[in-house]
Amino acid sequence: MHSRLARNITRTTALKPTMNALRLVSSRNLHIQTPAALYTGMDRLGKTNGVQYGALRQQFRTYADKVVKVPQMAESISEGTLKQWVKQVGDFVAQDEEVATIETDKVDVTVNSPASGTIIEVYAQEEDNVSVGGDFFKLELGDAPKEGSAPTPKKEEAPKQEEQEESKPKQEEQPKKVESKPQEQESKPKKEQPKQQPITEEEPVKVYGNRNETRVKMNRMRLRIAERLKQSQDTAASLTTFNEIDMSGLMQLRKEYKDAVVKKHGVKFGFMSAFVKASAIALQEIPAVNASIEGTDLVYHDYVDVSVAVSTPKGLVTPVLRNVEDMSFVDIEKNIAAMGNKARDGKITIEDMTGGTFTISNGGVFGSLMGTPILNPPQSGILGMHAIKERPVVVDGKIEIRPMMYVALTYDHRIIDGREAVTFLVRLKEMVEDPRRLLLDV
């Protein structure tokens, strides 16, 4: 009796420091790795000390697991398509490190890890649709494993050994198959197949060329572009007016100052800045072209936010240049270059494309001579630029060869009348043909 009591006192005394440490750690919400032997000791003493260490043990087991949710991508986006897992199950990820890429209707969103740890489970596969707020992956919190402490793939070796063992009986069965071949060969002469040779049939017509087809699933951005373009055609009363611009004056200005602009500002002096600036002035003079419809209201904007169409491998995107009425030529060129690089690198954000009161599309970079642009809803106007071609024109009663560009304005006839659309395009033509008007505001 006395010896049994002494043993119990010894066990309790030995585990008491550990139990006190567990109470302290649990109160501070820290994560520790508890040996299995300690769990056994706690279970033995749980009933004696009146503490439910079984529940505490379960807490320590699950405290390190964090389920990461699909993040909020934008106000108007509630789901996306998982395009790529950058990290896999078993990989360690640091805090704010990229884990996956989700494709949305507008841009690709990168999902970063909210904490450091090891990925132990994923809840979606590539090409699956994921909803905002849904379970995405499970993370075991912890620091990076030390070198040499990474677990060895022992579990993968066991199946390999089983496969080797299973392959041995197959090798033994191979002679049996060889033995059966003579029987088949002996049975072949019994069949009188050569008698069927006299039957003559017409030779099939030879088909030339390749007739294969490839079916590719449309990505979310392409689907969204198709939906918006069709919505634009179904909703707006679109009409297009054309004009032509003599580019001699702007080309001469660019020729004289393009090197100086690059040297001082580090940006190329192109034609887009002149068209954006001229459009901003014309939009302020004719506010209907800068307006939009919301329900039964007409919304007139006192500012000019120009959406510039940029072609990317996944589709057309329209980053927005805000308050261009206050920008200079150089400021516009810098912003266009920055937005274009972000769009082509796939780093453009939804905020970069939100808004816009007017759109400019330059199909001339691809050699388009003339085209009809489609409205970008809810905007009421879009300007289409085209290729510069030398053509004979009449100047002061004489025929001269001048670099000419066709321009097109597609507008929503529900807001803009023909007089306003034509006036806008003529005003734009005057300022681009004589860039000095942009400086003198005449």
Contact yes or no for 390/401 (Cβ under 8 A): yes
Please state, in angstroms and rounded to a whole number, the distance separating the CA atoms of residues 442 and 131: 53
**CA torsion angle 215 221 223 228 (round to 10):** -150
pLDDT at 231: 86
**pLDDT score for 395:** 92
Question: Phi and psi at residue 356, in whole multiples of 5°?
Answer: 100, 130
Residue 222 has which token pair?
């392409």
- The residue among 79 and 164 whose pLDDT is bigger is 79
**What's the CA gap between 149 and 193, in Å, rounded?**
69
- Does pTM top 0.75 for this prediction? no
Distance of alpha carbon 161 from alpha carbon 396, whole angstroms: 92
Q: Which residue numbers are catalytic?
A: 413, 417
Average the pLDDT over 103-113 and give the result.
Answer: 82
**Quick one: 234 exposed, middle or buried, by C-beta within 10 A (0-12, 13-18, 19+)?**
exposed
* Average pLDDT of the segment spanning 189-216: 68
Q: Most distant CA pair in the chain: distance in Å?
A: 128
- Across the chain, what does the average pLDDT equal? 78
**Residue 25 reports pLDDT greater than 50:** no
- Higher per-residue pLDDT: 194 or 298: 298
**164 band by pLDDT with thresholds 50, 70 and 90:** low
DSSP 278-318: HHHHHHHHSGGGG-EEETTEEE--SS--EEE-EEETTEEE-
Given CA atoms 416, 422, 423, 427 in this order, what sign does their dihedral have?
A: positive
Residues 152-176 have a mean pLDDT of 48
| Mean pLDDT within 366-388 | 94
Please tell me the predicted confidence (pLDDT) of residue 431: 95
